[in-house]
């Protein structure tokens, strides 16, 4: 008797009846198995995201220039409680600006170049799966809006694309 829940309960890479064994991710999209144009693995995607995040954090720090001493001096600290450390103050001051810089950087870079700095560093690019054309502003914006919620990127389809890629008709592939 076949397991009804096997296609979704066992995870995104569970064997389903549609894909015979030996198929590879990206085959249904017409992408090669390896080399330029092949789908990027999850680990490279995460590394590219981390590189982009650290770049955004550095840019946010340059823009905001948080002064921990000044922020702590303006705080009202209850008696008997220790003031926050400089690290805590700086990270709190940079959390929202970092997200905003990452958001804008992602839209601008993918629209203009087809990749973010982190993706470039890891030899990846965002590619449309429906046409041999640039991603464009609307798809880059929609992709970044969905990515802000992080969770959609963790759920992948049978080709290994996240919900953000599937919704925008894109795929993160090797560039070279």
Q: Contact at 8 Å (CB) between 160 and 27? A: no
Residue-level pLDDT at 6: 47
Residue 108 belongs to what H/E stretch?
helix 86-112
Residue 13, domain member (yes or no): no
- Count of structural domains within the chain: 1
Residue 110, domain member (yes or no): yes
Residue 24, domain member (yes or no): no
Residue 12, domain member (yes or no): no
Residue 10, domain member (yes or no): no
- Please give the Cα distance from 19 to 22 (Å, whole number): 8
Residue 62, domain member (yes or no): yes
- Please give the Cα distance from 12 to 34 (Å, whole number): 21
Residue-level pLDDT at 20: 55
pLDDT digits (tens, 9 = 90+) for 138-156: 999 999 999 888 777 777 7
Stronger pLDDT, 16 or 102, i.e. the higher one: 102
The residue range of the domain holding 150 is 30-174
DSSP H helices in the chain = 42-64, 68-74, 86-112, 117-121, 137-147, 151-154, 163-168
- In this prediction the pTM is 0.79
Q: Contact at 8 Å (CB) between 73 and 86? A: no
Residue 7, domain member (yes or no): no
Residue 137, domain member (yes or no): yes
Residues 6+ apart with CB under 8 A from 26: 32, 33, 38, 39, 159, 160, 171, 173
């Amino acid at each position: 008797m076949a397991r009804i829940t096997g296609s979704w309960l066992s995870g995104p890479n569970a064997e389903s009846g549609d894909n015979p064994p030996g198929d590879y991710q990206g085959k249904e999209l017409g992408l090669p198995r390896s080399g330029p144009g092949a789908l990027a693995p999850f680990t490279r995607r995460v590394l590219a995201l981390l590189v982009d995040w650290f770049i955004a954090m550095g840019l946010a720090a340059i823009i905001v220039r948080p002064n921990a001493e000044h922020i702590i001096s303006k705080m009202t600290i209850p008696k008997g409680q220790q003031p926050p450390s400089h690290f805590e103050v700086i990270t709190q001051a940079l959390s929202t600006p970092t997200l905003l810089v990452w958001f804008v950087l992602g839209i601008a870079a993918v629209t203009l170049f087809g990749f973010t700095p982190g993706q470039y560093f890891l030899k990846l690019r965002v590619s449309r799966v429906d046409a041999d054309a640039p991603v464009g502003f609307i798809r880059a914006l929609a992709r970044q809006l969905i990515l802000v919620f992080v969770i959609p990127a963790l759920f992948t389809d049978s080709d290994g694309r996240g919900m953000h890629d599937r919704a925008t008709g894109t795929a993160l592939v090797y560039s070279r």
